[in-house]
Amino acid sequence: MLISQLFISKSRKIDFELSILFQDLANVPLVSGNYYIKWKIKYADAPSGSTARAPITDHNVLWNHTNATTVHLIVGKDNILAPCDLKLEVFQELNGGKDTHTIGTLTLNLSEYAGSGTTTRRYLLDDCKFNSTLKLSIRLFQKSDADIKYEVPPLKKQQIFADIPTMITERKDKGLVKDDLFIADPKGQSSASLSSIPVHKSHSAVNLEHFYKKSLSPIPMLKSSDDQSPTDLVEQLFQGQPIDGVQSTSAGHSSAKWS
């Protein structure tokens, strides 16, 4: 705990177990090098760290790296949790580590995620020459006295892609789902399957009208399907994967499968 927190009343200090899953980096127009993330967490027992190095494949980097630590948050006089910054920096490493370049940065206020279960979102990197996006899963589980009351600052809607006006979010707030990925459990042990952690069912609002507005090709039309949400379909687009059950139609032309 920082010295500045020693003079704050115990009734205003709350300990949270922070679990972060660094999933992947998408839309990277590069073909070589190894990639990793460095992080710094304010008011944390383990304030810094980094992921393992991972290669780039089809313009995507996959980590699925988990990190767990305890963070100490302060309840302000207005009863709202004070900011607690998570600062991330993504690097490209070349020539066996001799050359290192910054791909982009991201700063999040962890207080916005307190008590919200597991939140999974894809974020557009700052200070990035490309439209690269970083996918994270974040969980902030209250460890200390549950009788301490607080309010959470509103979650900022950071834009995912410049041409998609509606943010794609997988904020879990209804129902239960299972995920094959991994995230550290609230007790701070190594890592546990997300399928064993109750998370809330995602909801998404995806508006691609502007995205296709200037396209000269026919607009792809989606078949009705109960298996894939709009978020799943756009996630496949980010990953460069083919989408099942999609047709292209245009006046005077027969429909054909989009591969």
**Tokens at residue 190, please?**
């190594």
147 and 36 within one domain: yes
Residue 111 reports pLDDT greater than 80: yes
Range 74-93 average pLDDT = 95
Residue-number span of the structural domain to which 24 is assigned: 3-214
The string of pLDDT tens digits covering residues 175-197 is 333 343 445 444 444 444 443 44
255 and 146 within one domain: no
The string of pLDDT tens digits covering residues 21-59 is 999 999 999 999 999 999 999 999 999 999 999 999 999
What pLDDT sits at residue 191? 42
Q: For the chain, what percent of residues have pLDDT higher than 90?
A: 49
128 and 85 within one domain: yes
245 and 148 within one domain: no
151 and 42 within one domain: yes
220 and 167 within one domain: no
Q: Is 132 helix (H, G, I), strand (E, B) or coil?
A: coil
pTM of the model: 0.65
**Tokens at residue 249, please?**
């139609």
* Between 166 and 179, residue with greater pLDDT: 179
184 and 221 within one domain: no
**Tokens at residue 223, please?**
């078949």
Q: What is the mean pLDDT of the chain?
A: 74
* Domain CATH code at residue 90: 2.60.40.150
* Between 129 and 234, residue with greater pLDDT: 129
**Is residue 224 classed exposed, middle or buried when 0-12, 13-18 and 19+ CB atoms within 10 A define those classes?**
exposed
Range 54-83 average pLDDT = 96
227 and 179 within one domain: no
130 and 244 within one domain: no
116 and 8 within one domain: yes
Candidate from 76-90, 204-218, 244-258 with smallest mean pLDDT: 204-218
Could you tell me whether strands 133-142 and 174-177 are parallel, antiparallel, or unpaired per DSSP bridges?
unpaired
Overall number of domains in the chain: 2
What pLDDT sits at residue 246? 52
